[in-house]
Structure 1
Amino acid sequence: MAKLQLCLILFATIGCFLSGLQVRAMTHIVGGSYGWRLPSANISFYQDWARPRNFTAGDKLVFLFTTGLHNVVEVKKEDYDECTQKHVIKTYTNGPAIFELTKPGDHFFICGLSNQFCNGGQKLSIRVMNGDTSSDGGGLFGIITKSSSSSSSADSIYSLGMLSGLLLALMMIINIIFFI
């Protein structure tokens, strides 16, 4: 019994140290369930969608659109502001398009099939932070979350620290019941 207790204590201790690990990467579905298409009423729809979110290096943006009806063009700020394509960084023609945010800074995306799409609000600008600045530090028993306005369960990841913390609590209860 003592060996089992020692193993459980060791496992719980390792888990507590691991609970300090932080999750850095998230996948953001641009526009949520609306996807990447011309906003029907709100020209600032995509900026409103992005405003409460934190984007960090390592995250991915998923642009949901039908190939041939839309595209995603990463552009410089001037092109974003003017809805032009003079300084194209990358073009994604097949939907859905997945863009990995590899470096901090400002990123600008437009639909480049027609100026009417971009001028109609089908454009997105985001600020990407360094990958180590947005995590909340692990939380209780190693629950690792990433700051975001989304509240889905996919945005929370339970670490090994959660399991080890629960095992530690269970071990303490067993000790109280059987050995005291």
Structure 2
Amino acid sequence: MAKSHVLLLFLYAAMGGLMIGEVGGMNHIVGKSLGWTIPQNASFYQDWAAPRTFAVGDKLVFLYSSGMHNVIEVSKADYDACTQKNTISVHFSGPTVLKLAKPGDHYFICGLRQHCLRGQKLSIKVAQGQVPVESGADSAKSLFSFRLVSVLLIFVLFMPI
């Protein structure tokens, strides 16, 4: 009886391992509890970003209601002028989650009305990630293989003979 409980415990642990997703970078909720909105002061988002380190593989989470705001990645010139002449990407559906895929400077604004001019803009510097990222197919295949072998090993070790 006790052996069957131990077996069930290991099986649940193995199933939990199968359900856990691939470990990735940090999730940064832009603006913390304020989210992505018009801030009280124009430096709010830069003040929020200043103590943080951003790396390739991290995700920026922009919390906002669709139709109220948007997230547009722009060039530095567009960021400085609050214009949309050279957009890199445009996102209208909130919340928006953006995975940081390239190192370097990244610039984000809200393109609605005068939001950018009122401080709804963010610039960050993304560092190269510490751990090399495997290609999606190779990473998924190796992760699946590891989990499959783990489950089979548990069955072999704890099956009654």
Q: Are 1:31 and 1:46, in contact at CA under 8 Å, matched by a contact in 2?
A: yes
| Count of residues paired in the alignment | 109
- In the alignment, the residues of structure 2 paired with residue 122 and residue 25 of structure 1 have an alpha-carbon distance, to the nearest angstrom, of 25
Q: Determine if the alignment matches structure 1 residue 130 to structure 2 residue 128.
A: yes
SS at match of 1:103: coil
1:132 positional shift: 1.0
Aligned match of 1:117: 115
Look up the match of 1:97: 96
Q: 1:86: how far off? A: 0.1
For 2:71 and 2:102, locate their aligned partners in 1 and report how far apart those are by CA, in whole Å: 19
* Residues 31-110 of structure 1: pairs in structure 2 closer than 5 A: 31-40=31-40, 42-110=41-109
Which residue pairs with 2:30 in the alignment?
Answer: 30
- What is the identity, as a one-letter code, of the residue corresponding to 2:38? L
Aligned partner of 1:68: which letter?
Answer: G
Q: Quick one: distance in 2 between partners of 1:97 and 1:105?
A: 20
Tell me by how many angstroms 1:113 deviates.
Answer: 1.1
| Highest RCO, 1 vs 2 (Cα 8 Å, sep ≥ 6) | 1
- The unaligned stretches of length 5 or more in structure 2 are 1-22, 132-161
Runs of 4+ aligned structure 1 residues displaced above 6 Å come to none
What TM-score results when the alignment is normalised by the length of structure 2? 0.66
Residues 24 and 56 in structure 1, CA contact (< 8 A), matched pair in contact too: no
Runs of 5+ unmatched residues, structure 1: 1-22, 134-180
User: Which AA in structure 2 matches 1:97?
Assistant: T
Question: Structure 1 CA distance, aligned partners of 2:24 and 2:66?
Answer: 30
Report the Cα offset of residue 24 of structure 1: 6.0
